[in-house]
């Protein structure tokens, strides 16, 4: 009989990815997590900025990136400029400064739409996992590995699991939207 652990793990992973996506959404305060998805060339390989430089936040709206190798300054600056971050880096020859502007009402609404899009994509992923799980149990029932009653119970359990993770996604989305609008 198939077990639920595999599908639970996939749904947990979907929620983890959503949290990571939400962390990358800039909320008006300097947060080093916005740099997690930006990579720069480091000895021939693309590496995340956090692995090739120290990142500090001297105040609430500034990030300072100090590469361990000064020859990386230009490459990191270019990587930040070409990213979707929307902030122009300031390179003083030793460090790169990112100054986060205050969010305008329009930008907050755009970020809220982006957050909702991430949440909806996660819900679609959860529903796809549910479909795969139900299909797995139906195949097991066709092979006579489980009874029809077991199939009905499994479908009910899978739906409850889906509802639980969908609700969690909605809660995370609402919290992120509140954070964006409160700034």
The enclosing domain of 40 has a CATH number of 3.30.1360.40
The answer to whether residues 132 and 171 belong to one domain is yes
The answer on 113 and 172 residing in a single domain is yes
Paired tokens of 92: 């003083």
Let me know whether 55 and 91 are in one domain.
yes
- Backbone phi, psi, residue 63, to 5°: -115, 140
Q: In this structure, are residues 89 and 96 in contact, taking their beta carbons and an 8 Å threshold?
A: yes
User: Are 94 and 130 part of one and the same domain?
Assistant: no
Of 74, 99, 124, the residue that ends a domain is: 99
Inter-residue long-range contacts of 32-36, CB under 8 Å, 24+ positions, other chains counted: 32/57, 32/63, 34/85, 35/63, 35/65, 35/80, 35/85
Q: Are residues 94 and 108 in the same domain?
A: no
What is the CA angle 26-115-64, rounded to 5?
A: 10
Q: What is the DSSP letter of 33?
A: G
Give CA–CA dist 64/58, Å, rounded: 7
Same domain? 56 vs 76: yes
User: CB–CB of 167/119 below 8 Å?
Assistant: no
Which of these three, 80, 99, 118, is where a domain ends?
99
Domain boundary among 99, 120, 136: 99
pLDDT per residue rounded down to tens, the chain (183 residues): 567 889 999 999 999 999 888 877 766 666 777 777 788 777 778 888 888 888 888 887 788 888 888 888 888 888 888 877 777 888 888 888 888 777 778 878 888 888 999 999 999 999 999 999 999 999 988 988 888 898 899 999 999 999 999 999 999 999 988 888 776
- Is 110 found in the same domain as 159? yes
Look up the CATH number of the domain holding residue 145: 1.10.132.20
* Interatomic CA distance for residues 52 and 39, integer angstroms: 9
Domain count, the chain: 2
The answer on 163 and 118 residing in a single domain is yes
| 149-158 contact pairs (CB < 8 A, 24+) | 150/1, 154/2, 154/4, 157/4, 158/4, 158/7, 158/130, 158/133, 158/134
| Residue 161 structural domain | 5-23+104-182
pLDDT computed for residue 73 by the predictor: 84
Structure tokens at 28: 């008006």
């Amino acid at each position: 009989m198939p077990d639920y652990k595999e599908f639970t793990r996939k749904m947990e992973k979907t929620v983890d990815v959503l949290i990571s996506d939400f962390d990358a959404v800039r909320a008006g305060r300097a947060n080093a997590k916005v740099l997690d998805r930006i990579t720069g060339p480091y000895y021939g390989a693309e590496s995340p900025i956090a692995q090739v430089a120290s990142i500090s936040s001297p105040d609430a709206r500034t990030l300072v990136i100090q590469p361990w190798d000064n020859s990386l300054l230009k490459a990191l600056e270019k990587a930040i400029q070409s990213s979707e971050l929307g902030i122009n880096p300031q390179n003083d020859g030793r460090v790169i400064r990112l100054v986060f502007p205050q969010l305008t009402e329009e930008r907050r609404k755009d970020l809220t739409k982006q957050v909702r899009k991430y949440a909806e994509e996660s819900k679609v992923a959860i529903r796809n996992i549910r479909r795969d799980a139900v299909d797995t149990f139906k195949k097991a029932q066709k092979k006579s590995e489980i009874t029809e009653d077991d199939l009905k119970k499994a479908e009910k359990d899978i739906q409850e699991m889906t509802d639980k993770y969908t609700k969690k996604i909605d809660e995370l989305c609402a919290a992120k939207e509140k954070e964006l609008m409160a700034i």
